[in-house]
């Protein structure tokens, strides 16, 4: 549907699905454990790391498209 030179629609939908999976039950439970990562609790670190990863993926998909887009 998008066409043009924005990020591809299929990439975005796939990223969104991945985001939903990573941010929800049951994958989130993986991080819900005692112990530490670099001296920090694992759950918040994992949440922020996944978040940053999704932003980076979106930025990559968006900026790599380059150029303008005229709609379809």
Cα(49)–Cα(60) distance, integer angstroms = 16
Q: Give me the residues paired with residue 40 across strands.
A: 37
Least distance (Å) from other proteins to the CB of residue 30?
Answer: 11
Least distance (Å) from other proteins to the CB of residue 12?
Answer: 6
Least distance (Å) from other proteins to the CB of residue 50?
Answer: 9
What is the contact surface with other proteins in residues (CB under 8 A)?
Answer: 1-2, 6-7, 9, 12-13, 15-16, 19-20, 23-26, 28-29, 32, 36, 38-41, 43-44, 47-48, 51-52, 54-55, 58-59, 62-63, 65, 68-69, 71-72
Place of tokens 């049951």: 26
């Amino acid at each position: 549907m998008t066409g043009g030179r924005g990020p591809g629609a299929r990439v975005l939908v796939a990223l969104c699905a991945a985001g939903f999976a990573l941010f929800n039950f049951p994958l989130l439970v993986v991080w819900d454990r005692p112990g530490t990562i670099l001296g920090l609790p694992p759950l918040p670190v994992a949440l922020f790391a996944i978040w940053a990863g999704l932003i980076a993926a979106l930025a990559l998909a968006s900026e790599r498209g380059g150029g303008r887009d005229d709609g379809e």
